[in-house]
Structure 1
Amino acid sequence: MIEYVECFLRNYQTLVVGLLGFIGVISTLIFNAWMSRNEEKRGRRNKAKSIKMALVSELHLIREAINNANKSLKEKSNDTNDSRLIPNTPLDNLFRALMGELTVLEPNTVSAILNAYLSYETYLHSLTLIATPISNPNYICISESLNAQMISMNEGLIKSLDEELKKLSDGG
């Protein structure tokens, strides 16, 4: 039996070495492809985590801005006929910049983020409906007689943002 193996190896050593080399190359290619796939998955997870964290931070900033505006409104008296100028520029620059990147996020995360920003967008459009037009397109003018309505709108937005932020913090 040993003689047979020796004879086979002597006669076919080129074939045996070639097969071993080929198997080595193929196994290296398979291993490298596996490693590359894992690296790509890790990169996508990191990108998704970064995008989610950035958008959640922006939503927290929007929530704080609206909450601070609400506190200011509650401190004002309703008996004056003055008006206030409110910036008409949305605070969603990051969301708009990352809109095309939302595809890397999980569907429930995308849903919560879109719901939060849609609530904010609806809020901004509602503000323009109760505002008095002025010559500066960067601001809208709201009468102080509408303080109660503004407070209600702000509280509605804060509640909506809180719900979506809770979903996002719970793993959404």
Structure 2
Amino acid sequence: MTAPEFLGHIDRFQTMIVGIVGFLGVIWTLSANARYARLEHSRQLRMRRAVLRRILAAEFRNYSDALKRNRDAIHSKAEEVSVGKIRRLLSEGLTADLGLLDPDEIDIVVNALISLDGFEHCLESICQNNLGTRFIIPAEALPAFRNVCDSTATALDLAVEAMEMSNDR
């Protein structure tokens, strides 16, 4: 094929060539935009996971510290102890977002949340008086109170450790 014949073919099929090149450009643009959208969505999910982990770790750490302070504040000669109810501030509203976590993290977090709820139910069963926002624990129930504080604080500490380790990844 000579140069004039080649130029004749280009002249004859220029509309089709331009259409094919344009269509390839559109395909490339759509592909690049889809790749960018996937990367951005992955980045947003990573950020939401990290924020969720930090919020849960902070809340669980505060609960655990409060339980340990309550446990350690009890004197052996105390007649009764007044203990405030746990008010879940953030974790209650974040329950729907737990699916962002890894399955093992969900197990640990749900165990910590169940422990918190179980703590309150245990206090209701051993308390002498339930004042709505506080429990009055009699002296004979203080060993049970210490035990439930220890087990709940342990579950919360495990959840904090798991959230912190996951954020380090």
TM-score (structure 1 length as normaliser): 0.87
Residue by residue over 1:61-111, the C-alpha shift from the partner in whole angstroms, topping out at 9 and shown as x without a partner, is: 1001101111101xx132x53x332222x2322111111111122111111
Residues 59 and 90, structure 2, Cα contact 8 Å, conserved in 1: yes
Letter in 1 for 2:147: S
Aligned-pair CA distance for 1:28: 0.5
Hey, what does 1:149 align to over in structure 2? 144
Q: Does 1:85 align with 2:60?
A: no
Residues 57 and 159, structure 2, Cα contact 8 Å, conserved in 1: no
Letter in 2 for 1:155: D
- CA distance in 2 between partners of 1:111 and 1:77 (Å): 36
Letter in 2 for 1:93: L
Residue by residue over 1:120-167, the C-alpha shift from the partner in whole angstroms, topping out at 9 and shown as x without a partner, is: 211111111001234x32222111333222222212222222233333
- CA distance in 2 between partners of 1:106 and 1:9 (Å): 57
Residues 119 and 152, structure 2, Cα contact 8 Å, conserved in 1: yes
Hey, what does 2:20 align to over in structure 1? 19
Residue 124 of structure 1, aligned match among 120, 125, 145: 120
Residue 160 of structure 1, aligned match among 155, 158, 162: 155
5+ residue gaps, structure 2: none
Equivalences for residues 1-172 of structure 1 within 5 A: 1=1, 2-73=3-74, 76-78=75-77, 80-81=78-79, 83-88=80-85, 90-134=86-130, 136-171=131-166
TM-score (structure 2 length as normaliser): 0.88
SS of the residue aligned with 2:92? helix
SS of the residue aligned with 1:113? helix
Aligned-pair CA distance for 1:53: 1.0
Residues 44 and 104, structure 1, Cα contact 8 Å, conserved in 2: yes
Of 15-24 and 144-153, deviating more is 144-153
Residues 56 and 165, structure 1, Cα contact 8 Å, conserved in 2: yes
Q: Alignment identity in percent? A: 22
Of 159-168 and 38-47, deviating more is 159-168
